Amino acid sequence: MKLIAVVLVLLLIVSSSLFFTQVISRDRNIADLTALSEKQKETIEQLELNISYLRQNLSASEKLLENETQTRQSLEREVINLTKVAKSEYFVIAVDESDKGHLIPLEVVIKSGNGKVLPNIANVLVDETFQSSVQTSILVARDITRTSLRDKDIVINIEAPVQEQRISISGGSAGAAITLAAMAAMQGKTPKKDVLITGTIREDHTIGRIGAPKAKALAARENGAVMFLVPAGQKSEVGNAGIEVMEVRTIEDAAQYVIQT
């Protein structure tokens, strides 16, 4: 019995020692984890400060870039004005994602150069046909006016107000308007701002069909136009838009209504 008691006491001592060792080890682990957690908190706080600092730098950089872009655009306009030979102003009509029409200022500037056609589009979405439509517009305008532009560049500015972003010109629908504005600039004449047009332009001078004619007619009326020109066969698609609608088959037909003599 004494031996058993001694053994039990020894076992109790050993188990107690192991228990206390585990407790001490656990306390050390907890202390280490607590210290690590505090260190990670400090690291997170430092990272948050760095992110805030980087955001401030990014905002300042974006503002600087915006100012530099505006300065560059202003200088480009000044250069164009210094070398300007002729200019005309008109409108193209675009539609937004809700198929609502919008009038977008169009400016065609002829300046000293070497025969380049330079579209300058801002705040307007265009598709892959736009570039070729612009080229065709200038080709047709030169053909009709018999103007040589070997030593001239043509700058085509189409810039919507910033608040009217997400509007689009698709399918070359601005072609007829660009052609008329280019013809007016080449002839030293002025397009009528109260007679607007929508339609594509073809190399044979004919005006092609477009989409959303009624929405564009409504936009023309709302912006003071008294007449709206549409491609042949599309007058019926406009319906009653509260504005006089005329069909035109060729750009020469349209010029009789738009370009002041």
Q: How does pLDDT run across 60-96, given as a tens digit for each residue? A: 787 877 777 667 766 656 555 545 678 999 999 999 8
42, 57, 59, 68 from 54: Cα distances, Å:
18, 5, 9, 20
More confident residue, 2 or 197: 197
Q: Is the overall model pTM greater than 0.85, yes or no?
A: no
- The residue length of the chain stands at 261
Crossing angle of helices 251-258/175-187, nearest 10°?
Answer: 60
Predicted pLDDT at 150: 84
Structural domain spans, the chain? 86-258
| Averaged pLDDT for residues 138-148 | 93
Average pLDDT of the residues of the chain: 85
More confident residue, 3 or 34: 34
How far is Cα 205 from Cα 146, in angstroms, rounded to an integer?
14
Residue 184 has pLDDT above 60, yes or no: yes
The CATH code for residues 86-258 is 3.30.230.10
pLDDT in tens, 95-137: 988 889 999 999 999 988 888 999 988 888 888 889 899 999 9
Predicted pLDDT at 81: 55
Predicted pLDDT at 4: 67
